[in-house]
Structure 1
Amino acid sequence: MEEEKTLKKMAEAFKELANSINQCPDGEARLELAAFSKACSLVSPLFRCLGIAFKFAELDYVSKVDDLAEASKSILTLPVMMDGDIEANCVRRAGSHTRNLLRVKRGIDMVKVLFEHILSSEGNSLKDPASKAYAQVFAPYHGWAIRKAVGAGMYALPTRAQLLNKLNEDETSARMQMQNYISSAGPVIVYIDQLFINRQLGIDW
């Protein structure tokens, strides 16, 4: 059924986030934490569809999105959340909302890069697109054991056809929704990076 399609829900949710950001071209957008965490939660099923190779990423991503969703009950926007962590001097502490935001941002980015590689590749195998996306986004921050486990899991990835079947999409609709997600997730990723950079927190940790 249309309303159950993961890719469409992801693309539409991130389009709304991108629109919110674009409404504040001259200042720092006050992106709502509740809307952001809800959009991010819609990406979780995609990680599940990728199987064991991304099991660690899925568990890590889901737990951190859950933390942000819980935080949204008392914190209105992303900038307010980050400024609160800065004030409490806990930005880099394990489990801090800001640290979790950085990890969630990488999950969004990994999916964006994966879609870019899927759209530019031929054939039915997802190993090459998934390996490239992992190497580009996650690998620099993962230890040897995790990288090795992910590498082994790449051989158990679904085929492109199997993934589309799990997502209830055909090639044409999937390409359209993947492109929509890429276009909308891009500005959101840039926005989050800028939140960190503007506060001199850096993004490579």
Structure 2
Amino acid sequence: MKFKEIADAFRELAVIVNKPNSDVPVKLFSHACSRFFLIFTVLKPAFKFAENDYVSKVNDLAKASPSTLTLEAMVDRDIEAKRVRKVGSHTRNLLRVKRGLEMIRVLCEETLATE
């Protein structure tokens, strides 16, 4: 597995989300998340569904970035429109991306622990 590239992607993502202010730019976040697409090239075909889900959700966030500058503004907009829980909402897709990142992190940790 390409652990160095994955570790670099996690470092990049950490820099973006751990800035002192809480305004995470959607464009930077979605770009950093797209760096994890490479893990699915190693895991195919067992993780094909997870790949399709993760990639489509990250792409949705990337498409939303021109009209919504920050993740906080994106979530606030969905709250105001009462669409947070609706399938396809940006907020729901953000949650799915977060869960995908957690799955990748755990998978990498377990792989490193057993090698």
Same fold (TM over 0.5): yes
Shift of 1:94: 0.5
Give the RMSD, CA atoms, in angstroms. Answer: 1.7
**Residues 13 and 33 of structure 2 are in contact (CA less than 8 Å); yes or no, is this contact kept in structure 1?**
no
TM-score, normalised to structure 1, is: 0.52
TM-score, normalised to structure 2, is: 0.89
Number of aligned positions between the proteins:
114
Unaligned runs of 5+ in 2: none
Higher alpha-carbon Rg: 1
* 1:115 matches 2:111: no
Unaligned runs of 5+ in 1: 1-5, 123-205
Task: Determine the C-alpha separation between the residues in 2 that align with 1:102 and 1:50.
Answer: 22
Relative distance call for 1:17 and 1:45 in structure 2 (3 A) is closer
Shift of 1:23: 3.2
Relative distance call for 1:21 and 1:64 in structure 2 (3 A) is closer
Shift of 1:39: 1.0
The match for 1:40 is: 33
The CA deviation string for residues 162-186 of structure 1, in whole angstroms up to 9 with x for no partner, is: xxxxxxxxxxxxxxxxxxxxxxxxx
More RCO (CA 8 Å, sep 6+): 1
Shift of 1:51: 1.1
Shift of 1:7: 4.5
Aligned-partner residue type, residue 44 of structure 2 = G
Aligned-partner residue type, residue 19 of structure 2 = Q
* 1:95 matches 2:91: no
Relative distance call for 1:111 and 1:66 in structure 2 (3 A) is same
**Residues 48 and 55 of structure 1 are in contact (CA less than 8 Å); yes or no, is this contact kept in structure 2?**
no
SS at match of 1:94: coil
The CA deviation string for residues 71-120 of structure 1, in whole angstroms up to 9 with x for no partner, is: 01111111110000000000010100000011111111111000110111
Shift of 1:19: 2.5
The match for 2:60 is: 67
Over the matched positions of the two proteins, sequence identity in percent amounts to 55
The match for 1:19 among 15, 19, 43 is 15
Task: Determine the C-alpha separation between the residues in 2 that align with 1:118 and 1:65.
Answer: 24
Aligned-partner residue type, residue 108 of structure 1 = L
SS at match of 2:63: helix
Task: Determine the C-alpha separation between the residues in 1 that align with 2:40 and 2:109.
Answer: 16
